[in-house]
Amino acid sequence: MSAEKTRKRLFTKKEWSWIMYDWANSIYATNIMAAIYPIIFASAISGGSDTKWGYATSISTLIVAILAPVLGAIADFKGMKKKLFTVFMLIGVVFTPLMVCFGSWKAALIGYVISRIGFSGSCLFYDSFLTDVTTDERMDKVSSWGYAMGYIGGSTIPFVISIAILLIFGFDNRFAQTFSVLIVSVWWLVFSIPMLKNVEQTHYIERPSKLSISHIFKNVWNTFKKICTNKGLLIFVLAYFFYIDGVDTVISISTAYGSTLGLGSVGMIIALLVTQIVAMPCSILFAKISDKFSARKALIGAVIVYLIVTVVGFYMGFSMEPSQEAYENTFSEITYTDSEAEKIKDDFISDLIGKSEAEAASEIAEIRQQFAHVGEISSTAVMPEFTELSVKNALADIYEANLDKANAFRDAISFSSVLFWIMAVLVGTVQGGIQAVSRSYFGKLIPKKQSNEYYGFFDIFGKFAAFMGPFIYSLVGQISGRSSYGVLALSILFLAGLMMLIIGRKSMEADERLQQ
């Protein structure tokens, strides 16, 4: 196809097929990594769900980070990129169902770790295919449309279907939870077909007659030295290392953080749906901003917005945690050795605070009535319904004696929910843009024939960062006892990335001209 015809068409067949993989895999990022499954996981265990989730995320990203440069070096050989892409895509598709098949939170974490390795690995090869499907002039546009289609398709359509099923059957319903996970694998596999069928590796290194491990590591080492000697490229990947760490961590821990603070599941998921809707047009807008002002300036603007997000997120938790602690501590005088009774307690005090004062009072009145009725026909506490009502009746006494603390916590939840919505909109304006422009800008700074090896290092910087972010959040939250401090710690990452983007302007512009 001539350059003239290419310009007249919105996208070529190869470009559209490449873009469709964002449509295919974005449901994993939404349903599993960000919005739905962290809430399901949090409901499956009592206490510490956000730290367990954070550590599992760190493990999976660390494994991919270690493998990325070597896999990238192998993928640069003729015919290897497509094969490796397919293998990792299938690993993600196959292991995602493990998260719901066995009803164990440990099995769920194993499934999450392995499926996320598949997801992240496939994205490594997918990103590097950008240099095969389009030109430098069209990279920002094609990359941004990839994220945009991901948000409107994979992150919205199946996401809304999953939410509808969960709302109809209930978030605790086994079928609804299973459906919201299995739809990920089906959607992901079906819409990967255009990528598998139409996209081929056009830039490559001829495969040597005798390929050895030492040869692969030699290539990796040579590429690493080239990155270190190209000052602009080095500054950019270091900046990317820090700011993308914060971006990935915000995506990974947002709902787990909200659940820990007691925010309503439905409200958080709807807010994140708004994030996806806002992100679609804003991703396309970022390509235009990048074209008009430069990719570097567009990235600087996005990082500043994320800095604001971390401050808002910190204040959301910091203003809420004292009220939450005061409310929950009022129930500490009642403890149960029986795990079922302890779960009834946790669910009940959470349920009460999720209702208005009038709704909670009505529920307590109903419990009193049922308790009196069942108590009349049972002289012992062996009946299951009597045991449950006994727990709730005792907790209701404490709730009514500390109504002021409950209402203070209710007010804090209401205020924090507003802040969560503000953060959701702010993240939506820059989430797709910062990822898309980073991906395409890197493609302009590197030699095309070694794109996969370079993207391997691009990925290792991103994945080591993704390991570091959740770890910092979990560690700071665990040491301080307050998750809000973990969120505040993420601002350091954005500040470091911002400073490098500012001071590295001349060097990055010089390296971009070198590859043109």
The SS3 assignment for 13 reads helix
Residue 322, pLDDT > 90, answer no
What CATH number is given to the structural domain containing 438?
A: 1.20.1250.20
> Of 349 and 105, which is predicted with more confidence?
349
Overall number of domains in the chain: 2
The SS3 assignment for 432 reads helix
Whether residue 291 sits in one domain with residue 255: yes
Residue 157 structural domain: 11-203+214-322+411-514
Boundary (domain end) residue, out of 351, 370, 401: 401
One-letter amino acid for residue 129 of the chain:
F
Write a three-state SS string for 133-183: HCCHHHHHHHHHHHHHHHHHHHCCHHHHHHHHHHHHHCCCCHHHHHHHHHH
Boundary (domain end) residue, out of 401, 427, 455: 401
Residue range 114-173, pLDDT digits in tens: 999 999 889 888 988 888 888 878 888 888 888 888 877 766 788 889 888 988 888 778
One-letter amino acid for residue 187 of the chain:
W
Whether residue 367 sits in one domain with residue 251: no
Per-range mean pLDDT, top range of 186-190, 222-226, 281-285: 186-190
Beta carbons within 8 Å of 314's beta carbon, 6+ residues apart? 484, 485, 487, 488, 491
Residue range 8-26, pLDDT digits in tens: 467 899 999 999 999 999 8
Whether residue 350 sits in one domain with residue 485: no
Nearest-5° Cα angle at 493, 323 to 461:
130
In a domain, 375, yes or no: yes
In a domain, 330, yes or no: no
CA 60 to chain centre: 13
Boundary (domain end) residue, out of 369, 401, 433: 401
Residue range 237-247, pLDDT digits in tens: 889 988 988 88
